């Protein structure tokens, strides 16, 4: 069997590649333009082929999907900062890329996993979020909601292809997946806080810090991502993938300072200073994972402290290596 992972050199994608190589005998093709991922995230394996290409290139996508038995479509423009800074590029990647993958998959009825995001829930306050809940978004003038809109369209496309063409497709809504290899470059909170704590800088908390988020270890996420395409019951459905145990950003910052034994302070920065006056941030993000538990019997196994310890250990090792060099 040949598995195609778009965006396979990225954070989640590279961990999925590791999982497949370690747990199966399948061959893997990674399609990536390395705009946010890096080849150093990928292992050396004679079962791994790396294709340097754009997921918005029709010919490239058609060829690679045509060679695959299963596709995990993870290529996307992610991170609030990146979305705000480059909205047109982000929309193009997230919309056109998904459409091309689905179009190519119809030819051979190829199994497809579409990566979505908890962003689709917007600023709804009806926590915990269930897959069938209404979405609540801010105005289009606030570019921070463009990602949520694009991912919702991705989901709609996937479900439409399933209903019209009986395409075996599954959508997974990721809730703050974290772990080693994640970068804070595009606004990811845990790697940002960890690096600030290890270097003695203030931990920059946007807003008042009372907003809550649920964090899931990447190894738990890739395990269920792989399993979803092996469950016929999952086809044509959307699943929350995340931890049902939220924590406030203030508490997260304090815990990272404690685990790193850092002297860093916590600095609160208003959203309008960090982004712009139209920026909005949801107060709560907590998934209802009942549907996933009933379908696969899955629940996240890794607690927050272990997640933080893994990220801290990796980042501390990298900083030490950089100092030696």
Instruction: Indicate which CATH number applies to the domain containing 113.
Output: 3.40.50.720
Q: Is the distance from CB of 115 to CB of 74 less than 8 angstroms?
A: yes
pLDDT score for 16: 98
For the question of residue 271 being annotated catalytic, the response is: no
- For residue 293, the tally of other CB atoms under 10 A from its CB is 12
Q: Is the distance from CB of 54 to CB of 75 less than 8 angstroms?
A: no
H runs (alpha helix) in 135-248: 146-165, 189-198, 218-228
CA distance 33 to 46: 21
First to last CA, the chain: 42
How many folded domains does the chain comprise?
Answer: 1
Is 90 contained in some domain?
Answer: yes
pLDDT score for 325: 47
CA distance 114 to 151: 10
Spell out the per-residue pLDDT of the chain, length 325, in tens.
Answer: 999 999 999 999 999 999 999 999 999 999 999 988 899 999 999 999 999 999 999 999 999 999 999 999 999 877 666 676 778 888 888 899 999 999 999 999 999 999 999 999 999 999 999 999 999 998 888 887 888 999 999 999 999 999 999 999 999 999 999 999 998 766 689 999 999 999 999 999 999 999 999 999 999 999 999 999 999 999 999 999 999 999 999 999 999 999 999 999 999 999 877 676 767 788 899 999 999 999 999 989 999 999 999 999 999 998 887 765 4
CA distance 325 to 321: 6
Q: Is the distance from CB of 282 to CB of 122 less than 8 angstroms?
A: yes
| Omega prior to 256 cis, within 30 of 0 | no
pLDDT score for 187: 66
Is 272 contained in some domain?
Answer: no
From 72, 147, 161, 186, the catalytic residue: 147
Phi, psi (degrees; rounded to nearest 5) at 278: -95, 0
Is 120 contained in some domain?
Answer: yes
H runs (alpha helix) in 71-145: 80-85, 87-106
Is 96 contained in some domain?
Answer: yes
Q: DSSP letter at 275?
A: S
If 0-12 CB within 10 Å is exposed, 13-18 middle and 19+ buried, where does residue 325 land? Answer: exposed
CA-to-CA dists, residue 61 to 1, 10, 291, angstroms: 18, 18, 31
pTM, whole model, 2 decimals?
0.93
Is 79 contained in some domain?
Answer: yes
Q: Which domain holds residue 225?
A: 2-178+215-243
- For residue 123, the tally of other CB atoms under 10 A from its CB is 16
Is 88 contained in some domain?
Answer: yes
Is 276 contained in some domain?
Answer: no
Element (H, E) at 295: helix 290-296
Is 133 contained in some domain?
Answer: yes
């Amino acid at each position: 069997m040949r598995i195609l992972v778009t965006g396979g050199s990225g954070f989640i994608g590279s961990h999925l590649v590791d999982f497949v190589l370690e747990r199966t005998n399948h061959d893997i093709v990674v399609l990536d333009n390395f705009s946010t991922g890096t080849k150093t995230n990928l292992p050396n394996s004679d079962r791994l082929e790396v294709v340097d290409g754009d997921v918005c290139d029709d010919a490239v996508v058609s060829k690679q999907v045509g060679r695959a038995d299963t596709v995990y479509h993870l290529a996307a423009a992610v991170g609030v900062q990146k979305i705000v800074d480059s909205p047109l590029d982000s929309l193009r990647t997230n919309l056109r890329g998904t459409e091309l993958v689905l179009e190519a998959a119809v030819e051979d009825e190829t199994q497809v996993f579409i990566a979505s995001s908890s962003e689709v829930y917007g600023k709804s306050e009806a926590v915990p979020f269930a897959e069938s809940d209404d979405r609540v978004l801010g105005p289009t003038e606030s570019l921070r909601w463009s990602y949520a809109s694009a991912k919702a369209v991705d989901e709609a496309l996937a479900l439409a292809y399933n209903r019209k063409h009986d395409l075996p497709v599954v959508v997974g809504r990721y809730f703050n997946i974290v772990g080693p290899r994640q970068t804070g470059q595009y606004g990811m909170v845990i790697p940002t806080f960890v690096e600030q704590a290890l270097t003695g800088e203030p931990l920059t908390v946007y807003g008042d810090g009372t907003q809550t988020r649920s964090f899931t270890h990447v190894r738990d996420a890739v395990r269920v991502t792989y399993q979803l395409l092996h469950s016929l019951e999952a086809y044509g459905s959307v699943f929350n993938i995340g931890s049902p145990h939220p924590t406030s950003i203030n508490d997260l910052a304090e815990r990272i300072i404690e685990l790193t034994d850092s002297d860093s302070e916590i600095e609160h920065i208003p959203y309008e200073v960090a982004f712009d006056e139209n920026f909005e941030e949801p107060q709560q993000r907590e998934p209802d994972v009942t549907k996933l538990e009933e379908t696969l019997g899955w629940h996240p196994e890794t607690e927050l402290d272990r997640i933080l310890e893994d990220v801290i250990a990796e980042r501390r090792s990298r900083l030490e290596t950089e100092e030696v060099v």
